[in-house]
Amino acid sequence: MTRPSPPPLTYLPLGEHPRRRLPQLFTGLALYGWSLSLLVRASLGVNPWSVLTEGLERRTDLSFGTVSALLGVLVLLLWIPLKQRPTFGTFANIVVLACSSDLGLALLPAHLGLTARIGLLVGGVLLNGLSVAVYVGARFGPGPRDGLMTGASRATGRSLRLVRTAVEIAVLAVGGLLGGTAGIGTVLYALTVGPITQFFLPWCVYRSGGGRTVATVVPAGEVASAEWPLRAHWPSAMNDAERGSS
């Protein structure tokens, strides 16, 4: 299917237009954390990584954001054998998401009625898709979970789709066993966050040197993940198998 696509989302150095890109990065990450808090308060199911975070939160005395940050650090350690290199955006992802999600959970009431919870779910998914487009579009590199999946894809020679599916199923299963909330919201998130992000991305991508949007072939379903929507647009993460099998 041919459609207009944004410029490549390759990593750009911190020194390139930081006054333009840094506010976008922090805004996108803050909104992402806030969207997670909306999904948690909806209590209708969250994305796979949040299911794991929520499950661990319920088994410890730590906050949702603190658990999220610790998971991010743990995942980052898995980058070492994969020869992944963190960027400024990687560390910002860990810190800002933790703080903003905890702030959102502190401000949002719990135990709401079903109508309000459905509203939170829909709003959370929409905001999440937008926020991913905003922070990914700043082009500061992947978050910890993104890099784990792209690094594993390169190391194993398996497609991004297969690696992502395997990782998220495992994360979801463990999180569910620990008491995390999986449900209709988890399904809705998986089916819609990718297309929502892709819709908003052309307006959010920082175009180095004033590059134009060009037409390219985007395999159907290429963008359909929770923590790493549009990772397949990073050329370094795309192998020939993924291009042919998506």
What integer is the mean pLDDT of 14-33?
96
Question: What is the pLDDT, as a whole number, of residue 57?
Answer: 96
Q: How confident is the model at residue 215, as a pLDDT?
A: 33
pLDDT score for 161: 87
Note the Cα 92 to chain centre separation in Å: 13
Task: For residues 102 and 36, give the distance between their C-alpha atoms in angstroms, rounded to a whole number.
Answer: 9
- Other C-beta atoms lying within 10 Å of the C-beta of residue 198: 22
36-59 tens-digit pLDDT? 999 999 999 999 999 999 999 999
Cα–Cα distances (Å) from 183 to 43, 45, 138, 175, in that order, read: 9, 4, 32, 12
Give the residue-averaged pLDDT of 223-228.
Answer: 34
pLDDT tens digits, 126-164: 999 999 999 999 999 999 998 999 899 999 999 988 999
**196-221 per-position pLDDT tens digit:** 999 999 999 998 864 443 333 333 23
Minimum mean pLDDT range among 57-71, 91-105, 154-168: 154-168
The model's pTM? 0.82
The proportion of the chain whose per-residue pLDDT surpasses 70, expressed as a percent, equals: 81
